[in-house]
């Protein structure tokens, strides 16, 4: 068994890292660039993703360079995490894989975009024509695309989680109001499809829904409060 095939077998047998985002392909003359982003909360996870791309994803079409950079939060030595944010530190690193400065270019983009707990890998297939400095622009553009997609997804996840919490609160408030007023419990006209919202990454729409839920929560709280307040004769 060839070494590359053996590596692919060993890596795949351990379970494959999950691809989170992949950039559009950039082609310039006879070179091709594409970026991929994986979650990584340790150096080991970052390396696992790099190896997965190199030996599994690109096993049959080996890239000339698999440049990468990673950033993640980790516990400081001797800390247990109970002390709050001060117990953690940010660690980062990069690998050029033969393309000098390639890894640092990716890391710089990750820093600017505020991406943490991830590894970004930019693969380049070199066809023989020297591109000059423009190659770094392509590397950065690919990295920036997946970083921004990642941040958009994180923002959408946080917003949908807040929406879910508000819906749970509304459910509880409706039950409380129905119990205290002796009326039948109001139900929403339809259930919210959180998964579709999350996939859409339509932050503006999610925020509108959050504002609407917050107003509903406020209204129900006021109505319940009025029921709890003794009426003056």
DSSP code, position 73: E
The three-state DSSP-derived secondary structure of 86-151 is HHEEEEEEEECCCCCCHHHHHHHHHHHHCCCCEEEEEEEECCCCCCCCHHHHHHHHHHHHHHHHHH
Length of the chain as a residue count? 233
Query: CB burial class (10 A; 0-12, 13-18, 19+) of residue 191?
Result: exposed
SS3 content of the chain, % helix, strand, coil (to 5): 50, 20, 30
The domains of the chain are located at 3-151, 155-228
pLDDT of 154 above 70: yes
- Give pLDDT, residue 167: 94
Residues 39-67: what's their mean pLDDT? 96
Domain 3-151 has CATH 3.30.2270.10: no
Two tokens, residue 228: 């709890």
CB-based contact 58:36 (threshold 8 Å): no
pLDDT of 2 above 60: no
73-87, 144-158, 195-209: which is most confident: 144-158
pLDDT tens readout for residues 159-174: 999 999 999 999 999 9
- Give pLDDT, residue 232: 58
pLDDT tens readout for residues 11-27: 555 678 999 999 999 99
The residue among 221 and 199 whose pLDDT is bigger is 221
- Which residue's structure tokens are 């190896």? 51
Average pLDDT score, the chain: 89
pLDDT tens readout for residues 62-108: 999 999 999 999 988 888 878 888 889 999 999 999 999 999 999 99
Residues 185-203: what's their mean pLDDT? 78
- Give pLDDT, residue 1: 43
CB-based contact 11:51 (threshold 8 Å): yes
Adjacent-strand bridge partners of 40? none
CB-based contact 55:11 (threshold 8 Å): yes
């Amino acid at each position: 068994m060839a070494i590359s095939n053996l590596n692919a077998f060993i890596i795949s047998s351990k379970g494959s890292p999950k691809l989170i985002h992949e950039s559009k392909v950039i082609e310039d003359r006879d070179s091709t660039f594409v970026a991929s982003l994986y979650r990584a909360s340790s150096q080991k996870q970052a390396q696992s993703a790099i190896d997965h791309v190199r030996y599994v994803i690109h096993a049959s079409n080996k890239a000339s360079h698999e440049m990468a950079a990673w950033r993640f939060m980790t516990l400081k030595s001797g800390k247990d995490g109970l002390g709050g944010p001060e117990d953690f530190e940010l660690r980062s690193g990069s690998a050029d894989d033969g393309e000098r400065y390639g890894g640092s270019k990716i890391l710089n983009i990750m820093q600017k975009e505020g991406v943490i707990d991830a590894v970004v890998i930019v693969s380049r297939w070199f066809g023989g024509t020297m591109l000059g400095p423009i190659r770094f622009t392509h590397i950065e553009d690919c990295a920036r695309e997946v970083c921004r997609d990642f941040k958009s997804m994180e923002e959408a996840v946080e917003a949908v989680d807040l929406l879910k919490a508000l819906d749970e609160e509304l459910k509880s408030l409706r039950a409380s109001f129905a119990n205290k007023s002796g009326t039948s419990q109001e139900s929403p006209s339809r259930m919210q499809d959180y998964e579709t919202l999350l996939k859409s990454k339509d932050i503006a729409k999610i925020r509108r829904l959050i504002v609407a839920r917050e107003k509903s929560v406020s209204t129900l709280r006021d109505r319940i409060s009025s029921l709890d307040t003794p009426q003056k004769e």
